[in-house]
Structure formats: C-alpha cells, structure tokens
C-alpha cells in the first residue's frame, strides 16, 4: 500500500497528505525541459524572466504521461478515493511556473470549482463554474512538484483542516453550491483561523489535497523558477454520502460536527 493508515487519517483530519517520490527526478527534469522550450525561456537567462507567473495548458508528452500513470500515485488515489472510482488523467495540467519577479496576481485564498453552471454548461468563464458541499465532479486536487520547492520558492499555502469549515459553509447552499465568483464574495473567513502548511518538497513530490481544502499561491522569494502542475481528479460517478472512502468520510465528519 502506498499510504500508511496514519497518513490516511492525516488526510481525513488535515485535508492533505504529501506523497514523496511519486515520480523520478529525471522525469521531472524532462518535463521542465519541455516547459522551458514552450515558454521560450531558459534557466540560464534569468534576466529574461519578466513575469511572476506563467500558466501553460495540458501536456501529454511522454514524460508527463509517465507522471500521470505513476504507480505510487495510483496506489494513493485508490486508497483515498477508492479503486475504480476515479478517472485516470490523460494529461497533466494546468502547469504553473513561478519566477522571483514581482508580486503575483493570483495569490488569493480559494478552492477550485468542479462543474459548469446548469444554465451555461459550455461556458469557458471559470469564475462561473461551481462547487458544492459534496464536491461534485472532483475527487482530489493534486499538486505535482516538477522542481525542488523550499519555503522561499513560492510553495502553495494550504490551510490545515480547512476542508471541514468549507464543507459546512457550502452545505447552506445545498446541491446547487456556489460559483467561484459567489465564493469570492462570500469569503473564506470560516477557515481564517486554520494553521498554514506549505507544499514544499523535492521534484517528484505530489501533494494530494481534499477538494474542499482552501489554498493559495504566494510571491516567489528564491532564485530558481518553480514548476508545478495542479490538475483536478474527477470521480467516475459522484459517490453517495455514505461512501467509505477517506474523501467522503472527511466530508461526513465535517457535517456531523457542524455548529
């Protein structure tokens, strides 16, 4: 088994678990080479780094397919979501590259939406996509580290156990949930007292976050570019509330302790 019983309980309680060595340093380096090429930038020419963040789309090149099919990752997802209950990602994305240049524009606290509004299912405006208390359509948020990431290298900030108050906050809006725009207006004060963890680790690390865990980017204070992918993971079918998986068990625990 990829994760120990203690790691699984940590995921349920804290809303995340760190999976070291999910893929090799060599594969991570091959992925970085592809991204440097596509950005028309180089690690040897830092004077050309002009933006604090560059976002790139989905990648299905060989090294990225190897990352997506990592046996350690698949084993952990089977343990946290359930065997046969999640959709294997065909590619890796969205890729986010952060540079030690200025202040980023995307560093607010948030959770990720998972389904389009019913009145406009084809919309490409992500701020109108929605999320509900049972995390419809999304089983996990995954943070793939393609470069070594220390505390100065813009690690993603993660609010510990924030999935609990978020589930309770979203319950008030029922199955329909809220859009990202509505969530931004409602705020994330329900998780403001949570401690902050930082998604650090060597290249090849994957952080597995409960889909309702509140997280945020931050400014890069280091010297090297930081490479990260943050794809979501879909359910094959939305599970019932009594599903025994750790993902659903965490939601039930949150709702059973609501005040």
pLDDT digits (tens, 9 = 90+) for 127-168: 899 999 999 999 999 999 999 999 999 999 999 999 999 999
Length of the chain: 259
* Token code pair at residue 4: 């120990």
In this prediction, residue 1 has a pLDDT band, given cuts at 50, 70 and 90, of confident
In Å, how far are 28, 116, 133, 140, 160 from 11, measured between CA atoms?
25, 27, 17, 11, 10
Whole-angstrom Cα distance, residue 144 to residue 201? 10
In Å, how far are 30, 38, 64, 91, 138 from 33, measured between CA atoms?
5, 9, 12, 17, 30
pLDDT of residue 187: 86
**Residue 116 pLDDT greater than 80, yes or no:** yes
pLDDT of residue 258: 61
Can you say whether the dihedral through the CA atoms of 235, 211, 142, 51 is positive or negative? positive
Mean pLDDT of the 95-106 span: 95
Domain that holds residue 202: 5-256
CA–chain centroid gap for 116, Å, is 18
pLDDT tens for 2-51 read 999 999 999 999 999 999 999 999 999 999 999 999 999 999 999 999 99
pLDDT tens for 186-219 read 889 999 999 999 999 999 999 999 999 999 999 9
DSSP 8-state code for residue 161: T
Mean pLDDT of the 67-82 span: 97
Mean pLDDT of the 79-104 span: 94
What's the CATH number where 113 sits? Answer: 2.60.120.620
In this prediction, residue 82 has a pLDDT band, given cuts at 50, 70 and 90, of very high
CA angle 64, 69, 70 (to 5 degrees): 100
pLDDT tens for 220-236 read 999 999 999 999 899 99
Indicate yes or no: pTM above 0.75: yes
pLDDT of residue 90: 85
User: Number of structural domains, the chain?
Assistant: 1
Angle between helices 71-80 and 246-256 (to 10 degrees): 40
- Structural contact between residues 157 and 198, judged by C-beta atoms closer than 8 angstroms: yes
């Amino acid at each position: 088994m990829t994760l120990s019983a203690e790691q699984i309980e940590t995921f349920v309680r804290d809303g995340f678990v760190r999976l070291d060595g999910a893929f090799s340093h060599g594969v991570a380096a091959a992925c970085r080479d592809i991204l440097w090429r596509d950005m028309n930038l180089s690690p040897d020419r830092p004077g050309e780094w002009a933006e604090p963040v560059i976002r790139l789309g989905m990648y299905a090149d060989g090294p990225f397919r190897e990352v997506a099919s990592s046996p350690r990752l698949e084993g952990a997802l089977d343990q946290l979501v359930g065997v046969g209950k999640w959709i294997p990602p065909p590619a890796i994305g969205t890729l986010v590259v952060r540079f030690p240049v200025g202040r980023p524009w995307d560093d607010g606290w948030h959770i990720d939406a998972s389904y389009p509004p019913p009145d406009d299912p084809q919309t490409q405006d992500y701020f109108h996509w929605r999320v509900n208390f049972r995390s419809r359509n999304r089983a996990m948020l995954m943070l793939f580290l393609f470069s070594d990431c220390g505390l100065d290298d813009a690690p993603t900030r993660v609010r510990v156990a924030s999935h609990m108050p978020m589930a309770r906050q979203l319950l008030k809006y029922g199955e329909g949930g809220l859009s990202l725009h509505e969530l931004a207006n409602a705020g994330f004060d329900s998780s403001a007292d949570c401690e902050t963890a930082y998604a650090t680790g060597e290249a090849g690390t994957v952080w597995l976050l409960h889909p309702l865990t509140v997280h945020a980017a931050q400014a890069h204070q280091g010297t090297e570019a930081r490479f990260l992918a943050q794809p979501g993971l879909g359910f094959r079918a939305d599970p019932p509330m009594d599903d025994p998986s750790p993902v659903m068990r965490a939601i039930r625990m949150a709702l059973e302790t609501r005040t």
